[in-house]
C-alpha cells in the first residue's frame, strides 16, 4: 500500500511546533552555493515566464514550482534545487506570471490549476534534447498545480519520469475553509496583502480589468477567488475554480511515480487534503504523512532539509 503514515522525519527538539516549522525557513534560512542563469520564455498568448536554471551538465532535470506569492529565489525552492544538483540533477525553477519581479503583460495572473504554464516550461526543457528524464516538483499551490499536471498527462508523460508535491492543498475548497479560521489569521493577512497589491498593479496596467472595490474588507480566499481569480481566468466563482482545479480529483489518472508529502500538523491543510484513499487505490502515487513538519517546513539538522533529501531520493529511484 503506497501510504506511509509515519516517515522517518525527526525535527530538532526546539522546532517541533507546526508554526515554528512553517515560519523558520522563510525567516531564517539562506541557501548559498547556487549559480542561477535566467531565461525569459515567451508564451504563445503573448505573455512570458522567467526561468532560473542551475545546471551541472546532467541528463536529468528537476523542474521546481513555487507556492502562492512565492518566486524562484525563495529558500525552499533554492534548497530543492541545491539538493537536486548534489544528487546529479540539473534544476529549473520557474516563476508564475507576475512573480519574477516584473508584472506580466496580460489581464490575467496565475492560479492553482494553470497547468498550461508548467507544460510550456517542460516543453522548453525538452526542446534542445539535453535531457533524458524530467521530474516535476511543486510546493503548496505549486504542488497542487504539479499533481494536476501529472494527472492530465496520464499514460502519455513523454520525458516526465516522476513528480512530487510538498505541503499540497489538493482539496482547494477544504484548504480555503481551513485558512479562513482564526489559527491562520496571520498568514491570511500576509497573503491577501501581497495578492491585493498584485491586483492594484493590474488595475494600473489595465484600467477596468479588475474591480478594486472588492478588496475593501476582504478577509478570505473565497472572497478573493470570487472577485479576482474566477473572473480573470474563466471560472464562474471560487467554488467553480476550486472544483475544477483541485488536484485530488486528478490523482487517480497519474501514471508515473509520484510522491505527496504532507505533514499531519500542517496549519494550512484540512483533513480532506490528505489523499489516503487515492494513494491506496493508485500504485503510482505514494503519500507520506509525517506527524510533524508544518507547511513547507520539514526542518532537520544538516544543510539539506529532510523533505529535500526524501524528494530527490524518491525521484532518483523513479
Assess whether 19 carries a catalytic annotation.
Answer: no
Assess whether 66 carries a catalytic annotation.
Answer: no
Q: Which one of the listed residues 54, 72, 140, 307 is annotated catalytic? A: 140
Q: Which one of the listed residues 50, 225, 265, 266 is annotated catalytic? A: 266
DSSP string covering 281-300? H-TTEEEE--S--TTTT---
CA distances from 58 to 41, 126, 296, 300 (A): 21, 13, 27, 27
Does residue 70 sit in helix, strand or coil? coil
Q: Which one of the listed residues 100, 295, 304, 307 is annotated catalytic? A: 295
Q: What share of the chain is helix, strand, coil (3-state, %, to 5)?
A: 45, 15, 40
The strand order across the sheet containing 160-166 reads: 3-4, 285-288, 258-261, 160-166, 133-139, 60-65, 90-94, 48-54, 37-42
Question: In sequence order, what E strands does the chain have?
Answer: 3-4, 37-42, 48-54, 60-65, 90-94, 133-139, 160-166, 258-261, 285-288
Say how many residues make up the chain: 318
Residue 205: Cβ-neighbour burial (10 angstroms; 0-12, 13-18, 19+): middle
The answer to whether 202 and 229 are in contact (CB under 8 A) is no
The answer to whether 206 and 107 are in contact (CB under 8 A) is yes
Assess whether 266 carries a catalytic annotation.
Answer: yes
Count of C-beta atoms within a 10 Å radius of residue 82: 20
Torsion of the alpha carbons at 215, 220, 222 and 227, rounded to the nearest 10: 0
Does residue 254 sit in helix, strand or coil? coil
C-alpha 178: how far from chain center: 18
Q: Provide the annotated active-site residues.
A: 140, 266, 295
Amino acid at each position: 500500500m503506497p501510504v506511509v503514515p509515519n516517515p522517518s522525519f525527526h525535527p530538532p527538539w526546539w522546532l517541533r511546533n507546526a508554526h515554528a516549522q512553517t515560519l523558520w525557513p522563510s525567516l531564517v534560512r539562506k541557501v548559498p552555493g547556487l549559480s542561477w542563469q535566467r531565461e525569459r520564455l515567451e508564451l504563445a498568448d503573448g505573455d512570458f515566464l522567467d526561468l532560473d536554471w542551475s545546471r551541472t551538465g546532467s541528463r536529468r532535470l528537476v523542474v521546481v514550482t513555487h507556492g502562492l506569492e512565492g518566486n524562484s529565489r525563495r529558500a525552499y525552492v533554492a534548497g530543492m534545487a541545491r539538493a537536486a544538483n548534489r544528487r546529479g540533477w540539473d534544476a529549473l525553477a520557474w516563476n508564475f506570471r507576475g512573480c519574477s519581479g516584473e508584472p506580466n503583460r496580460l489581464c490575467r495572473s496565475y492560479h492553482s490549476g494553470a497547468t498550461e504554464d508548467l507544460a510550456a516550461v517542460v516543453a522548453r526543457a525538452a526542446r534542445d534534447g539535453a535531457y533524458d528524464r524530467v521530474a516535476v516538483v511543486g510546493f503548496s499551490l505549486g504542488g497542487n498545480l504539479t499533481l494536476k499536471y501529472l494527472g492530465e498527462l496520464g499514460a502519455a508523460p513523454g520525458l516526465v519520469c516522476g513528480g512530487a508535491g510538498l505541503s499540497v492543498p489538493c482539496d482547494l475548497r477544504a484548504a480555503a475553509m481551513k485558512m479562513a479560521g482564526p489559527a491562520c489569521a496571520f498568514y491570511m493577512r500576509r497573503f491577501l496583502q501581497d495578492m491585493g497589491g498584485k491586483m492594484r498593479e493590474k488595475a494600473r496596467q489595465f484600467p477596468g480589468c479588475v474591480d478594486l472595490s472588492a478588496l475593501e474588507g476582504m478577509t478570505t480566499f473565497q472572497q478573493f477567488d470570487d472577485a479576482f481569480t474566477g473572473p480573470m481566468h474563466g471560472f464562474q466563482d471560487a467554488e467553480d475554480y476550486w472544483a475544477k482545479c483541485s488536484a485530488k480529483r486528478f490523482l487517480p489518472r497519474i501514471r508515473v511515480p509520484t510522491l505527496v508529502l504532507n505533514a499531519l500538523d500542517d496549519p494550512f491543510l484540512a483533513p480532506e487534503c490528505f489523499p489516503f484513499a487515492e494513494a491506496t487505490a493508485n500504485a503510482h502515487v505514494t503519500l507520506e504523512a509525517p506527524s510533524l513538519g508544518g507547511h513547507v517546513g520539514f526542518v532537520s539538522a544538516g544543510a539539506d532539509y529532510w523533505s529535500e533529501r526524501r524528494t530527490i531520493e524518491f525521484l532518483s529511484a523513479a
